[in-house]
Amino acid sequence: MEAVSYRVTGMTCGGCVRAVTNALRAAAPAASVAIDLPKGLVTVGGLDEPGVRRAVEDAGFEFAGRAA
């Protein structure tokens, strides 16, 4: 599955990055995850959009859809 970038709001620190990364990896252990904290972008490969949304929201952050 191709990597897709999504906007996530509410991430402010390294702890937030770890929380989102851990939630995404728990949802799909083989997923690739890259987070750009200053831009609020989460790039994920190997997990569909509903799965990403669920994981991000379960971690306590707001999923704001695909990045342009």
pLDDT of residue 35: 98
Residue 67 lies in a domain: no
Chain centroid to Cα 53, Å, comes to 8
Instruction: For residues 39-64, give the mean pLDDT.
Output: 97
Instruction: For residues 27-48, give the mean pLDDT.
Output: 97
Q: Is 9's pLDDT higher than 90?
A: yes
Domain count for the chain: 1
Q: Is 43's pLDDT higher than 80?
A: yes
pLDDT of residue 68: 79
Residue 42 lies in a domain: yes
Q: In what order do the strands lie in the sheet containing 41-45?
A: 32-36, 41-45, 4-9, 62-66
Range of the domain at 13: 4-58
pLDDT of residue 49: 97
CATH number of the domain enclosing 45: 3.30.70.100
